[in-house]
Amino acid sequence: MDFNLGNNMNDNEILKKVNPIYFSAKGCLWFLVGAGDSDCTRFYSSIDKEMLPAVEVATCDDINRSRTISMEVRYNLWKAIAKDTDCQTIVDLPCGYVPHSLITARLKKKYYGFDLPIVIDEISRVADKFLNENEKAFVQYHSVDATNYSSMRNALKDVHGKICIITDGLLGYFNNYDLKVVCENIHCLLQEFGGYWYLSDAYSSELMAVTYVALTGGNKDDMLKANISGSSQVSDNDNSDHIFISGTLEERRNFMKECGFTVESFRYPEKLKIIPSLKDNPALMNKVLAAYDEIEEWVLTVHSADFTEKKIDVPFTQNLSVKDNILSIRISGRLDTITAPKLLQEYEVQRAKNFTEIHIDAAELSYISFAGLRAFKIMRESLDDENLFKIINANDEVGKILKENGYTIN
């Protein structure tokens, strides 16, 4: 990923630098337009298409055609889950740019779309154009960091009763440490509210691979390699040992059990009887559906009896000042998707003061996610001499993360 700061950035550019994976969410919508979905086409007409290719390319080769059909299947599965669940509140994590809010509002169920700030800023405005006044009453969008429990819990402050969390395309963007924190946070939400966590991520690569084989008769490993390569291009995360990318299915299941979840599942054909883009070719559609008999959607639950309220993090604060050509930064609380842009916004203000060194006091930094690490990297790479970027006083947990990512604690 390119983290070169270049000229001073505006707020939107800062969000893009801190959250570069937002682009993959637009890619999902692009594939669904290629599959011919009318609601997705309406949403696509209103999003910023910077860097997106022409929609027609979505079916230009066997790999992209396989991805298009896989996205279509996952989208239709999402709709089936939202319709069939007995929960009246749907939590879409991450919501991306697809029109899940329209689907849920038509079902007269409450919809909570959670995603990165840069995604929410755009999708909330797009959805507002296509929801009627009655449907808008069912829909809320919130900027959250899934590693930040407070951000999700605050977004659900008005919710009563069971929740249905649906996750499709989230877990692969975290390192294994952040992944465990995310699972702990969702576990805590389900303990408090009750309900279910529907998870497609355990089989997302396998879904595309079996689709590819069913369509082309090709090698399953070719598609699996393409998926890993694609995820590396949209995330700066090293996925070589990521449990949901490189781990076996059994390792993934055991990981979720170790996080306190009961893992049940169903096969895709139990919910999906038709693939709309293939309906004019019944033989091929049935061949693909038959291949999906080995693909599972996980349904995770927890026991609520042991619920204890999760500790709320110290509020984020920052203090930046320049003296003797040194930019001194003191941070407290969490540095994550929500707060890292705030740090960079203030950093942009200070850049006019022509400092040559950056010293960060991390004594009160309680947590740093990959978004926070990106912010550090942006600041470090803006210096003529990167060795003059120094961090002091990090606690053991934060210090370990920083050292693992190439930083020295002074």
Q: Where are the domains of the chain?
A: 18-92+146-301, 313-404
Contact 135, 104 (CB under 8 A): no
- 252-270 pLDDT per residue, tens: 999 999 999 999 999 999 9
Q: Which helix (H) or strand (E) holds 142?
A: strand 139-143
The whole-number pLDDT of residue 370 equals 86
**How far is Cα 145 from Cα 94, in angstroms, rounded to an integer?**
10
* Average pLDDT, rounded, for the chain: 88
Q: In angstroms, what CA-CA distances link 346 with 313, 330, 349?
A: 22, 12, 5
Q: Do domains 18-92+146-301 and 313-404 have the same CATH topology?
A: no
Residues of the chain with pLDDT under 70: 1-10, 20, 50-60, 223-240, 304-312
pLDDT score for 240: 60
Rounded-to-integer distance, Cα 194 and Cα 171, Å: 21
Domain at 18-92+146-301, CATH from 1.20.120, 3.90.220, 3.10.660, 3.40.50: 3.40.50
Question: Is 221 buried (19+), middle (13-18) or exposed (0-12) by CB count in 10 A?
Answer: exposed
How high is the pLDDT of residue 249? Answer: 87
Which regions of 30-122 does DSSP assign to beta strands (E)?
A: 89-92, 110-115
The region, left, alpha or beta by phi > 0 then psi within -120 to 50, assigned to residue 267 is: beta
Q: Distance between the two ends of the chain, CA-based, in angstroms?
A: 27
Contact yes or no for 364/314 (Cβ under 8 A): yes
Q: How far is CA 347 from the centre of its chain?
A: 26
Neighbours of 404 (CB within 10 A): 12
The CA-CA-CA angle for residues 194, 255, 24, to 5°, reads 80
pTM here is: 0.89
Class of domain 313-404 (CATH, top level):
alpha beta
Q: Which pairs with CB-CB distance under 8 Å and at least 24 residues apart come from 15-18?
A: 15/116, 15/117, 15/118, 15/121, 15/341, 16/118, 17/344, 17/374, 17/378, 18/337, 18/340, 18/341, 18/344, 18/371, 18/374, 18/375, 18/378
How far apart CA 100 and CA 117 sit, in angstroms, is: 18
* Encoded tokens for 24: 């993959």
- State residue 247's pLDDT score: 82
**Residue-level pLDDT at 173:** 83
Q: What is the pLDDT of residue 51?
A: 58
290/294 Cα distance (integer angstroms): 8
